[in-house]
Chain A
Amino acid sequence: MLLTLILAPLAGAALLAAWRGAGDRAAGRFAAWWSLIPIVLVALLGFRGANPGGAMAAWSLDWIPDAGIALTFVVDGTSWLFLLLTSLVTTFVLAISLQKGLTSRSYAALILVMETMLLGVFTARHFIPFFLCWEMTLIPAYLLIRLWGGPNAPRAARRFFIVTLGGGVCMLLGFLALQIGVGTMDFGQLAEMASKGDLTKTLATAFAGTALTGPTLLLFVAIAVLLGLAVKIPIVPFHAWLPDAYAEAPTPITILLTGLLSKMGVYGLLRVFLPIFPETFAVLAPWLAALAVATVLLGALAALAQKDLKRILAYSSVNHLGYCVLAAAAVVASQGDRESASSAISGAFLQAFNHGIIASAMFFGIAILESRSGGRRGLDDFGGLRARVPVLCGLMGLAIFASLGLPGLSGFIGEFLVFNGTFGLLPWAAAVSVLGLLFTAVFLLRLIRKVFHGPLGEGLSTWPDLSTAERWLFAPVIALIVIPGLWPQVLLRFLNADTLRLLDFLKP
């Protein structure tokens, strides 16, 4: 079942590749319908529930037994949430691409390939399959930005590719060092060793010839892995590739980038980095906390200075994922305060999931603005839209308020849990980061004021409000913003058991 789930989108892509006579719309429609298969499979997994060990499904193959390399994929509650996000957002992206008339055979196929790789990243339990899928997402992403993007897309795509690839190389080097020193790259085994404090000792014996001590070695490895994750999330100052890539990519692809690709980084940080490197936490804690606060604040402040709607939302993404990093930093700094740590971890996962949904809704709104205005998306290009297209403004407004953390909508719960956890562990970081919540409100409300409010801008008086198709596309996303906001347990029930299991690895 798991293998079917992971490979289903790839099979769709293969079918598209083989279907030579397909027209653009036919291919897009096929891909959109095909992408429902993973959703159904993920839903089935969700209904089946987890076994006592926490796994919902697992699949493993001893690929290169001599090197201990196995293709291990396991779904537990946390992974499941990310699988759900991936399958939903992919379908959403394919549907709005179809609706925008952007799709073609190769475009749809690339998105499906990317989905398979993402599903792989979110379930892999061994570094090799994890890394393969991690890097393989880059290729479709690069091509999608490069071929369907705006005028500066080639440069933006190239930088995106090079920087994230560079991060990936660092991560690979880190894990290779572990493979050489410890003899395994299996996440579970590494975490097991780390929780007993064996990782440092083993590394020290393996590299006895070098002048470096065990803790220093492990620190280097941890920093290398962290670099790879930091570029992907991104953490300030490794985010320089992001605004251009988000702004130049076609808007549906921007949704993929922010909704899913950035989540790989968060997922890796929380599920791979945290359990394997607790021995380095004491050294890393203050640095990670500082970077997290910088990410939160600089993201929000930089968004204040932007004039392009997509760039504003791009920095807003940096800011929002900063809260996930903040939570991770809090856990890194935790001295066994289990409740705070569990709050931070739950909050970070929720925040990641909800940000994926909320950002999808907001960027979809931008896509509609773009298609109505013939590609303009400056902050000052519009005005008074609420009088002309109230439904669009209402729905986008809902997403915006969810994004600035209005209680009752999904964004709040994640932020509450993150801050609740962080405050117990890093009170100063939490107190300073709260300013980020304030600045978020400032730039998002400014967006509403400039775009939706005020007198009606020139040339906007003929705009039609949302079509039926557009309303139907908005509906599920809005539902996913409102329902978890009112009833967060619907998501948290999948997380709680895993959160506790994760914390068991972090006992100091």
Chain B
Amino acid sequence: MAEALQPHLPTLLWAIPLLPLLAATAVAFLPDARGRIASKLAIGALGVSCVLALLATACTLTPGVDKPFRLTTSATWFTFGESALKVGVLLDPMSAAMIAMVTFVALWIFIYSTGYMADEKRFGRFFGFLSLFCGAMLMVVLANSLLLLFIAWELVGLASYLLIGFYFEKPSAAAAAQKAFITTRVGDMAFFLGMIWLYRQTGTLLFYDGGNGLLESAALASLAGTTTLGGLTVSAAAALLLLVGAMGKSGQVPLHTWLPDAMEGPTPVSALIHAATMVAAGVFMVARVHPIFANGDGVTTALTATAWIGGITALYAACVAVAQYDFKRILAYSTVSQLGFMMVALGTGGVGAAMFHLIAHAFFKALLFLSAGSVIHGCHGEQDIRKMGGLSKPLRRTFLAYSIGMMALAGFPFLFSGFWSKEAILHSAEIWPGGKGPFALAVAAALLTAFYMTRQALLVFFGKPRRPGVEHPHESPGVILVPLYVLAAGAVLLSLIATPFWPWFEKWIDGEAARFHGGAFGEHGAIGLLILSLALVTVGVGAGWAVYRRVSDDSGAPDPLSGKLGPLWRLLENAMGFDALYQKAIIGPLAMLASLIDAIERGILVPVMAAGETVLKAFGRLTGASDERGLNAGFDGACSGLKRRAAGASGAQTGRIQSYLRTIGLGVAVLLVLYLWL
């Protein structure tokens, strides 16, 4: 099967992103009333993409080959001057894992959406935007060119903008959409510069191009061999710029503020874009260009920066998640925190671990968001966890699915993918030669993860109902529940392929064959790490249980921790005041600068122009007057004088022929006299 497909792979690869994009284009021309057709079109196109993606993934599973599977294509997109800019697609285990995950998770989220969004007026539009997103996201992961990746990267940003602002009538949603686009664009501009820098330095943007690609040795050597500002190599400087891009997209501190606000979008969007796939694009991008990050001796600057930013983000977001009340915002901060984990892994060299956490996180976080959607749906739109409680009975099936996702995220041992992926990340951070800082941050974040997830689970599903206005929560229909169970199954089953005993996934990503490795625990204190992980979960869950076991029946009562933490709690509630800081430090001054420039224009440039105009006008008056009084007066005087004299002279013109004849005669006589005597 795989062999039969090989020759057609390039075409198939292009088809994977193009099918959803074409569906999106088609949906754009459908009227709103044809929403059902739009959803069928979108799901059909994505379904075909999913099958193709799984087939393509199958092609990369060639066991026993030491060389990593890598299929690249390149074609000239356009030429300028004498240079040609090439783009292409790339299939290797990394992109294969991503396309399989994206199409699979997205397909189930699409199906979920047909139930969740059933009452929407713009139902068809919604699927159009989702299709656009999926096509662009698949292009991100399949791109064999940094430029193509950037293009698709911006398009997923557009889709995210459109979907966050799906309820654009709400000013908060409109503002959140704008904030998301602009904040990520800050990162994108750095990405843009980094990309151009790489292009100027190496003359190519293709990742792999038979030895001439950006990630291949010749280009890497050229990047490492040139030094620029501050003693950085071009490689490090460009990598840092790309990292800023990834930070914007993946919500890393300090460019994370848009992600919690992005929860204004419909819940399936939060699940697909702002948890499972798009926000992971930053992580994927860093993983893709990891050779540039790691280009240099030992622990490079770019990697150190990545690890530290990841660690700080992981801990920061986990802290903030503890103090949130909105069901989806907690999950959003959790996403930020988990993305931080992935960055830690990338920074400390664990590309395989990062990718595995990315895939696993996509499953269980999508699951959590979809469960959240199901709960919110059941509670008629209520999102505040203080107003929930005791939902495990009326929403039993949702609760089951949720608890699998929650345990995976919190890192319950052995059965859940989240445990193994976090374990792998901690392992990677621990053995990192660049210091123990990121490791410590990640450990603390892991502890808090277990804590805040326990808090959420207890507040939502246990205890007594605190639901003013939500008396009769109802369980969601099958079309919503089935995707939950599929994703839950994924979150569990993934744990089989990446345990330390059989690290198939990481080996696959690294292009090696996996062996069963029974003695894995004997190495480098791995057993100690395992015990640490277990302890983290136990302590986190235990603490959460201890604090939130008994919460007040009153939905307005303060959080048990708020009294103990005091001002720190309020700081966490406000997400450490980043928004206010940006408002004061960036948006305000920028607006002032803009008004200042406008005032300068109106107050200086325009008056200068007006003054110039006045001077010209005065000059015009002056010359006009001098013309009138001087030149014109002289000329006019001459003319009228001439006219007067002419009137006298014309008296000779009597009109009488005899007088003319006389004059002629006189003239002849005079001429005769002159002729004869002179």
Contacts and interface: CB of A to CB of B under 8 A. Distances in A.
Nearest to A437: B189
B653 interface: no
A417 interface: yes
Interface stretch (A82-90, A202-210, A262-270, A338-346): A338-346
Contacts of B591: 304-305
B158 A401 contact: yes
Contact of B608 (A240, A305, A338, A503): A240
Contact of A412 (B151, B152, B605): B151
A104 interface: no
A33 B547 CA distance: 79
Contacts of B186: 438
A476 interface: no
B79 interface: yes
| Among B78, B170, B601, B616, residue most surrounded by chain A Cβ atoms (within 10 Å) | B78
B193 A434 contact: yes
A435 B190 CA distance: 10
B196 A305 contact: no
B78 A445 contact: no
Contact of A343 (B81, B173, B192): B81
Contacts of A241: 609
A431 B199 CA distance: 15
B154 A488 contact: no
Interface string B138-175: 00000000010011101100100000010011110111
Given A159-B609, A305-B597, A492-B78, A407 B150 contact: yes
B181 interface: yes
Interface residues of A, number: 70
Interface in A370-416: 384, 386-387, 390, 394, 401, 406-408, 412-413, 416
B406 to A, nearest CB: 35
Interface string A433-474: 011011001100110110011111000000000000000000
B598 A305 contact: yes
Contacts of B203: 339
B55 interface: no
A438 B80 CA distance: 25
Nearest to A237: B605
B175 A449 contact: yes
Interface stretch (A59-67, A177-185, A272-280, A418-426): A418-426
A158 B158 contact: no
A455 to B, nearest CB: 6
A240 B609 contact: yes
A449 B174 contact: yes
B174 A302 contact: no
Nearest to B76: A489
B200 A434 contact: no
Contacts of B171: 453-455
B81 A496 contact: yes
Interface string B587-605: 0001101110110010001
Given A241-B609, A412-B151, A455-B171, A419 B80 contact: no
Nearest to A440: B185
Contacts of B182: 438, 441-442, 445
B200 A340 contact: yes
B650 interface: no
B197 interface: yes
A387 B169 contact: yes
Contacts of B193: 419, 423, 430-431, 434
Contacts of B185: 437-438, 441
| Among B152, B165, B189, B598, residue most surrounded by chain A Cβ atoms (within 10 Å) | B598
Nearest to B616: A162
Contacts of A341: 81
A58 interface: no
Interface in A301-321: 301-302, 304-306
A417 B80 contact: yes
B553 interface: no
Interface string A466-508: 0000000000000000000001110011011001100100000
A55 interface: no
Contacts of B155: 406-408
Contacts of B608: 240
A46 B466 CA distance: 73
Nearest to A435: B189
B81 A503 contact: yes
B218 interface: no
Contacts of A493: 79
Contacts of A435: 189
A306 B196 CA distance: 32
Contact of B199 (A420, A437, A455): A420
Contacts of B554: none
Contacts of A401: 158
Contact of A423 (B173, B200, B605): B200
A406 to B, nearest CB: 6
| Among B77, B185, B597, residue most surrounded by chain A Cβ atoms (within 10 Å) | B597
Contact of A434 (B77, B189, B606): B189
A492 B79 contact: yes
A157 to B, nearest CB: 12
Nearest to A405: B154
Interchain residue pairs A-B with the least CB separation, the first 3: A342-B81, A453-B174, A407-B151
Interface of A: 158-159, 162-163, 166, 237, 239-241, 243-244, 298, 301-302, 304-306, 338-343, 345-347, 384, 386-387, 390, 394, 401, 406-408, 412-413, 416-417, 419-420, 423-424, 430-431, 434-435, 437-438, 441-442, 445-446, 448-449, 452-456, 487-489, 492-493, 495-496, 499-500, 503
Interface of B: 28, 32, 77-83, 147, 150-152, 154-155, 158, 165, 168-171, 173-175, 177-178, 181-182, 185-186, 189, 192-193, 196-197, 199-200, 203, 590-591, 593-595, 597-598, 601, 605-606, 608-610, 612-613, 616
Given A302-B597, A441-B181, A445-B182, 13 more contacts: A239-B605, A298-B597, A301-B590, A301-B597, A343-B83, A406-B158, A412-B151, A435-B189, A437-B185, A438-B185, A438-B186, A448-B178, A503-B81
24 contacts: A301-B593, A301-B597, A302-B601, A305-B591, A387-B168, A390-B32, A407-B151, A413-B78, A417-B80, A419-B192, A423-B196, A423-B197, A430-B196, A434-B192, A438-B186, A454-B168, A454-B171, A456-B169, A492-B79, A492-B80, A496-B80, A499-B81, A500-B81, A500-B82
